[in-house]
Amino acid sequence: MIALVKKQSAQVLEMVGDYVSMIWDVCWAALKKPPAWSLIQEQLYHIGVMSFSVVATTGFTTGFVLAAQSFYQLGEKGLAGVTGVLVGKSMITELGPILTAFMVTGRVGASMCAELGTMKVTEQIDALKSMAINPNAYLVAPRFIAGIFMIPLLTLFSTMMGIFGGYLIAVNLFHLSAASYFDPMQIHITLFDVATGVIKSFIFGILLVTVCCYRGMNTSGGAAGVGKATTQSVVTSYILILLADFFLTMALNMIHQEMKYDWMRGI
Amino acid sequence: MIRIRNLWKRYGKNDVLKGLNLDAHQSEILVILGRSGVGKSVLLRHIIGIEKPDEGSIEIDGVVITNLKKNQIYRAVKNMGMLFQGSALFDSMNVEENTAFYLNQHGDCLTGKKLPPAVVKQKVKEALAMVGLEGTENKMPSDLSGGMRKRAGLARLIVYRPKILLYDEPTTGLDPITAQQINELIVKTQDELKGTSIVVTHDLHSALFIADRLALHQDGQIVHVADPESFMKLDHPVIQFLRENLTPKRRKHR
């Protein structure tokens, strides 16, 4: 039993080491010789443009639901006026980043893993190496760069769609005024909330792209192996995104509280 | 010149290479024969730097590549090329883009100078003509037959004129006519480039046609190396079997 635990731990540690080493190699390669613009452009289109409709729909419908839930749950307690703040704050700090990361993982991450996995099992990645090309620099770096630019943008778009969706429901269905939906947002939604959303989406972008690429680049076992790696990449990304969300929420709020106290002590 | 000394490689509990020693000289085609699973392809992958050995050294033109770091290996293998068993064409690119890939990435193999698109196009055209694939420039790898893929893989290899060429079972799964075309191309390429070629194969007819020297890979080691005539006379059970089966026997009809 102890031997099994030891063996499993060693395997996990080795995998984490490989993963970190891949990220290091990608960053180093991208800084040393940035990938060709055409490769980045292709990935910007694939990750960003092709995901816009999915992300917009997700944000929009989440805004609907949030507005309806907050109106029904809080309206009877006379708190219908917080609908806008609730939708806005939830979308900006939590649901926007998380749902966008989940949708992009399902749509783009899975396809990245399957594509790289197929290249691995058909020796295309070995062919790159045999032609003196670092596969991390050629295949992973453009996806990494495109991911860290596009995922925060998609998150921003999804959040805006969510707030707009909530507005449509609140104003047209529940007859709140536009002012009572938007005005409290200006008071209660701070720059910290926006920064939280942006930082989270940036970290989630790094996580989902690197996990899916890592799984793809380490695929073995033919077509079945590609399927298995794709499933694993999506599940691992989801779990890591949720864990990262918790730790980021804690860390950012702690930093924020500390900054607030420092500011008050200064007064 | 390739010099391999005491090469060891273990996958899990299985030792694939067990202290393998081998020399491949300039301007020769060395053919490595051996049964499936003895580690012939693994050996090629070590020579081109895709795999790192557990022990031992590989020296290529005076540079011990087994001592190099990952990024240094990429530089060291720039003038080497490998034809993979499944061709390993990039399936998101057409035949022309596949063939031009190395030149577009690295420029000229010897000088490293970037080549103008017109020169690349011309070189690609010549390479495709050499392997008899004119007119397939816009075809995707999925549209090609097995033999055409092998030839496209060969075009991708010879277009940048590497000094060291490695072939992993180039005729496996091909009909005898296409296999002979590939054999002739290997010899023609060698005559033109005058580099070092190492061919791994099961195909004895092919081996005898192209080899300057033959090596027998058995149980993780090279057990015999000789010119084709001497090789076929060696007293070894595997070579005896090969000798006896060189002319196909007809099975007895019931």
Task: Say how many Å lie between the first and final Cα of chain B, rounded.
Answer: 53
- 8 Å CB contact between A142 and A42: yes
ipTM for the predicted complex comes to 0.90
Where do the H-state alpha helices sit in chain A? 2-32, 37-43, 52-75, 83-90, 96-104, 110-121, 124-130, 135, 141-172, 178-188, 191-217, 222-266
Name chain A contacts of B50, Cβ cutoff 8 Å: 126, 129-130
In terms of Cα–Cα distance, which of B13, B17, B12, B7 is closest to B39?
A: B17
Name chain A contacts of B163, Cβ cutoff 8 Å: none
Q: What pLDDT is stored for residue B47 in this prediction? A: 95
- 8 Å CB contact between B204 and B231: no
Residues A6-43 as b or e (16 or more Cβ within 10 Å = b): eeeeeeeeeeeeebeebbebbeebbeeeebeeebbeeb
Chain A nearest C-alpha distance from B27 (Å)? 21
- 8 Å CB contact between A96 and A197: yes
CA B222 to the chain's CA centroid: 17
Residues B126-158 as b or e (16 or more Cβ within 10 Å = b): ebbebbebeebbeebbeebeebbbbbbbbbbbb
**Cβ neighbours, 10 Å, residue A221:** 12
**What's the rounded mean pLDDT across residues A25-38?**
91
Task: Kindly determine whether residue A131 and residue B91, on different chains, have CB atoms separated by under 8 Å.
Answer: no
Task: Kindly determine whether residue A129 and residue B49, on different chains, have CB atoms separated by under 8 Å.
Answer: yes
Facing residue for A130 by CB, picked from B70, B81, B91? B81
Task: Count CA atoms within 13 Å of residue B211 on its CB side.
Answer: 27
B169: left (phi over 0), alpha (psi -120 to 50) or beta: left
B55 touches chain A (CB under 8 A): no
Surface of B (152-171) touching A: CB under 8 A: 166
B86 touches chain A (CB under 8 A): yes
- 8 Å CB contact between A60 and A163: no
- 8 Å CB contact between A80 and A173: no
In terms of Cα–Cα distance, which of B147, B251, B146, B245 is closest to B204?
A: B245
- In this predicted model, which residue has the larger pLDDT, B90 or A7? B90
Cα B114 to Cα A245: distance, rounded to the nearest angstrom = 46
- Token pair for residue A41? 């452009």
- Token pair for residue A109? 């991450």
Residue A42: which pLDDT band, with cuts at 50, 70 and 90?
very high
**Backbone φ and ψ of A216, nearest 5°:** -65, -45
Task: Kindly determine whether residue A130 and residue B90, on different chains, have CB atoms separated by under 8 Å.
Answer: no
pLDDT at residue A30 greater than cutoff 80:
yes
Task: Kindly determine whether residue A129 and residue B74, on different chains, have CB atoms separated by under 8 Å.
Answer: yes
Q: What pLDDT is stored for residue B247 in this prediction? A: 64
Cα B158 to Cα A103: distance, rounded to the nearest angstrom = 44
- Token pair for residue A141? 């770096």
**Which H or E element spans position B21?**
strand B14-24
- Token pair for residue A252? 């950012």
- Token pair for residue B149? 């893929």
Q: What is the pLDDT of residues A212-266, one digit of tens each?
A: 999 999 999 999 999 999 999 999 999 999 999 999 999 999 998 888 887 777 7
- 8 Å CB contact between A52 and A81: no
3-class state of residue B81 by DSSP: strand
Facing residue for A132 by CB, picked from B75, B85, B88? B75
pLDDT at residue A78 greater than cutoff 70:
yes
3-class state of residue B2 by DSSP: strand
- 8 Å CB contact between B131 and B185: yes
- Token pair for residue B80? 């080497």
Residue of A nearest to B101 (CA): A131
Residue of A nearest to B51 (CA): A126
Domain ranges of chain A: 37-252
B77 touches chain A (CB under 8 A): yes
Q: CA angle, A163 as apex, A157 and A169 as ends, to 5°?
A: 135
- Token pair for residue B243? 């000798």
Q: Helices A96-104 and A141-172 sit at what angle, rounded to 10 degrees? A: 130
3-class state of residue B7 by DSSP: strand
Task: Kindly determine whether residue A132 and residue B90, on different chains, have CB atoms separated by under 8 Å.
Answer: no
Q: What pLDDT is stored for residue B13 in this prediction? A: 85
Task: Kindly determine whether residue B75 and residue A122, on different chains, have CB atoms separated by under 8 Å.
Answer: no
Facing residue for A130 by CB, picked from B75, B82, B90? B82
Q: How many residues does chain A have?
A: 267
Task: Kindly determine whether residue A129 and residue B91, on different chains, have CB atoms separated by under 8 Å.
Answer: no
Q: What pLDDT is stored for residue A148 in this prediction? A: 93
**What's the rounded mean pLDDT across residues A98-102?**
96
Average pLDDT, chain A: 93
Name chain B contacts of A119, Cβ cutoff 8 Å: 90
CB-based burial of residue A159 (10 Å sphere; 0-12 exposed, 13-18 middle, 19+ buried)? buried
Task: Kindly determine whether residue B50 and residue A126, on different chains, have CB atoms separated by under 8 Å.
Answer: yes
Facing residue for B86 by CB, picked from A123, A131, A133? A123
- Token pair for residue A14? 């080795």
Pairing of strands B14-24, B213-218: unpaired
- Token pair for residue A217? 């680049």
- 8 Å CB contact between A156 and A166: no
Q: What pLDDT is stored for residue B35 in this prediction? A: 85
Residue of A nearest to B46 (CA): A130
Name chain B contacts of A124, Cβ cutoff 8 Å: 88-91
In terms of Cα–Cα distance, which of B210, B199, B197 is closest to B168?
A: B199
Name chain A contacts of B85, Cβ cutoff 8 Å: 123
Measured CB to CB, residues of chain A less than 8 Å from chain B are 25, 118-119, 122-124, 126-127, 129-134
In terms of Cα–Cα distance, which of B237, B239, B236, B252 is closest to B208?
A: B239
DSSP B202: S
CA diameter of chain A: 69
B50 touches chain A (CB under 8 A): yes
pLDDT at residue A81 greater than cutoff 90:
no
What amino acid is encoded at A28 in this protein? W
Regions in chain B scoring below 50 on pLDDT: none
Q: What pLDDT is stored for residue B131 in this prediction? A: 87
B53 touches chain A (CB under 8 A): no
In terms of Cα–Cα distance, which of B132, B55, B151, B142 is closest to B93?
A: B142
Residue of A nearest to B165 (CA): A130
